[in-house]
Amino acid sequence: MPIHTSAPNEKAFHVSWDQFHRDARALAWRLSAAGPFSGMVAITRGGLVPGAIVARELDMRIIDTFCVVSYVGEKTQGETKVLKSVQPETLRGGGEGLLVIDDLADTGATIKRVRAVLPKAHVATVYAKPLGRPLVDTFITEVSQDTWIYFPWDLGLSFQAPIAAPG
């Protein structure tokens, strides 16, 4: 398995399973005041894990998926391609009463595709970057645009070099 390193001008934010779980529960807490929601749409793949946590916390059982791919390779964002849209019954009412969940609003490209289909849905992400933040209704943590987030499902346990190089 290759070791992932950041480019010199890129910041790295490593998120542990514990931290992600706490952040997703904090998102659920914040969303509890915005609901109730009639159902959820999890954006795959990143929205599946926070979607499961939020669904548990808010006792939601109706969950659909919006399957999108926007990254070609590990860190190269390409054209956003919809692999599967939501079910026809999910489209009714433009998404009014629905909660859309994703892990991160990066450039906003994915959320723009979702909002084109579900303009009245409430969109929530665990993390947001400045370019994606205006498209999100609720989020927990904002990170800079030049920060690469390493999610726990993308990582293994390995040595981490110190931030300051030994000198």
Give me the catalytic one of 23, 102, 146, 154. 102
Residue 154 annotated to the active site = no
Contact 36, 99 (CB under 8 A): no
pLDDT in tens, 100-123: 999 999 999 999 999 999 999 999
Average pLDDT, the chain: 88
* Res 151: pLDDT: 94
pLDDT in tens, 13-39: 999 999 999 999 999 999 999 989 999
Residue 102 annotated to the active site = yes
| Gyration radius (Cα) of the chain, Å | 16
Q: CATH no. for residue 46?
A: 3.40.50.2020
Give me the catalytic one of 23, 59, 64, 103. 103
Asked whether residue 67 is domain-assigned, the answer is yes
Residue 23 annotated to the active site = no
Asked whether residue 6 is domain-assigned, the answer is no
For residue 128, give its domain range: 11-86+95-152
